[in-house]
C-alpha cells in the first residue's frame, strides 16, 4: 500500500460504520452498502434501514472515516481520484473493510450494494473479494478495475447493475465494454437500463437535470424492487 494512500485512507482513520439489524431479522444475507463520493451520509443510513426491514442484516460503510467526508465539489473529485488511483491499494482497503464488517456475522452471505462511486466499489468488491456472493450497482461507474486474469476474478458472484440510459457518466461504449467483460468471465450478471433516466436516480437530493443528475421516483421504485428480488434469490 502506497504511503500517500495509507496516510489518507488507513493510518489513524477511525471508521464508524452504520450497522442495522431488525429484531425479526431472519435472512442469511449481510448487505454492505458503499456510499457515493460524498462518503457515508443520512441517505445510506436510511437506505440501510429500508433494506433491514426486508429481513437482512445491513452495514453502511464509513468509507472515509469520522470527520473526513469531503464537502466541496473539488474536494470530492480529489478524494475519489486518490481513492481509485491504484488497483491494489483500493482492493486491499475494500477487503480489509469487508472483513471487519463480515466478522459481525461470519456465517452470513455477503452482498455489496452501492451508489455512484459506491456502485463501482460494489462491483469491484464482487469481482475481487472471494467471500462476496452478490453485488448490486446503482448508477455506478463502469470504470471498475478488471481482474488481471479470469482465474483471479470471483466468478461465482452474481451481479445486478441498474443504470440510467441518459447517464452522462456511463456512455454506450463503456456500458458495452463492461457487459462484454462480465460475459466473457462467465458470471451470472444482469444489466438493466432505465429509460429517460439520468445519473443519481436513486438520490432524492439529486436535482440538476441540466447536468445529467436527477432523482427519478419511478427508477428509484423499480431499483428497490429489483434489489429486493435479487437479495431474496441470494438468500434462498
For the segment 93-106, what is each residue's pLDDT rounded down to a tens digit?
999 999 999 998 88
Q: Name the band, by pLDDT with cuts 50, 70 and 90, for residue 132.
A: very high
- Ramachandran region, residue 71 (left: φ > 0; alpha: ψ -120 to 50; beta: rest): alpha
How is the chain split into domains, by residue range?
3-235
The percentage of residues in the chain with a pLDDT greater than 70, rounded to a whole number, is 98
For the segment 140-174, what is each residue's pLDDT rounded down to a tens digit?
999 999 999 999 999 999 999 999 999 999 999 99
The pLDDT of residue 25 is: 65
Extended strands (E) in the chain: 18-20, 29-34, 57-60, 109-115, 132-138, 158-164, 188-194, 207-208, 213-214
pTM of the predicted model as reported, rounded to 2 decimal places: 0.96
For the segment 8-54, what is each residue's pLDDT rounded down to a tens digit?
999 999 999 999 987 666 799 999 999 999 999 999 999 999 999 99
Q: How crowded is residue 174: how many other Cβ atoms within 10 Å of its Cβ? A: 13
The pLDDT of residue 143 is: 96
Specify the pairing of strand 18-20 against strand 57-60.
antiparallel
CA distance 39 to 71: 9
- Tell me which residue has cell 472515516: 65
Tell me which of 3.30.9.10, 3.40.50.2300, 3.20.20.80, 3.40.50.1820 is the CATH number of domain 3-235: 3.40.50.1820
Amino acid at each position: 500500500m502506497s504511503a500517500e494512500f495509507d496516510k489518507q485512507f488507513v493510518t489513524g482513520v477511525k471508521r464508524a460504520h452504520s450497522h442495522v439489524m431488525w429484531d425479526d431479522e431472519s435472512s442469511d444475507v449481510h448487505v454492505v452498502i458503499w456510499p457515493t463520493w460524498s462518503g457515508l451520509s443520512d441517505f445510506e443510513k436510511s437506505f440501510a434501514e429500508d433494506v433491514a426491514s426486508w429481513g437482512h442484516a445491513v452495514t453502511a460503510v464509513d468509507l472515509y472515516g469520522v470527520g473526513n467526508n469531503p464537502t466541496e465539489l473539488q474536494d470530492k473529485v480529489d478524494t475519489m481520484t486518490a481513492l481509485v488511483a491504484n488497483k491494489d491499494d483500493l482492493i486491499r482497503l475494500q477487503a480489509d473493510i469487508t472483513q471487519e464488517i463480515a466478522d459481525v456475522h461470519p456465517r452470513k452471505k455477503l452482498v455489496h450494494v452501492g451508489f455512484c462511486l459506491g456502485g463501482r466499489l460494489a462491483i469491484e468488491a464482487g469481482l475481487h473479494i472471494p467471500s462476496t456472493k452478490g453485488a448490486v450497482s446503482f448508477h455506478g461507474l463502469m470504470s471498475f478495475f478488471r481482474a488481471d486474469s479470469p482465474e483471479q476474478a470471483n466468478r461465482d458472484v452474481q451481479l445486478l447493475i441498474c443504470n440510467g440510459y441518459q447517464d452522462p457518466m456511463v456512455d454506450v461504449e463503456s456500458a458495452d465494454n463492461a457487459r462484454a467483460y462480465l460475459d466473457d468471465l462467465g458470471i451470472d450478471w444482469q444489466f438493466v437500463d432505465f429509460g429517460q433516466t439520468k445519473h443519481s436516480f436513486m438520490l432524492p437530493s439529486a436535482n440538476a437535470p441540466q447536468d445529467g443528475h436527477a432523482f427519478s421516483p419511478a427508477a428509484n421504485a423499480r431499483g428497490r424492487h429489483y434489489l429486493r428480488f435479487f437479495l431474496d434469490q441470494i438468500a434462498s
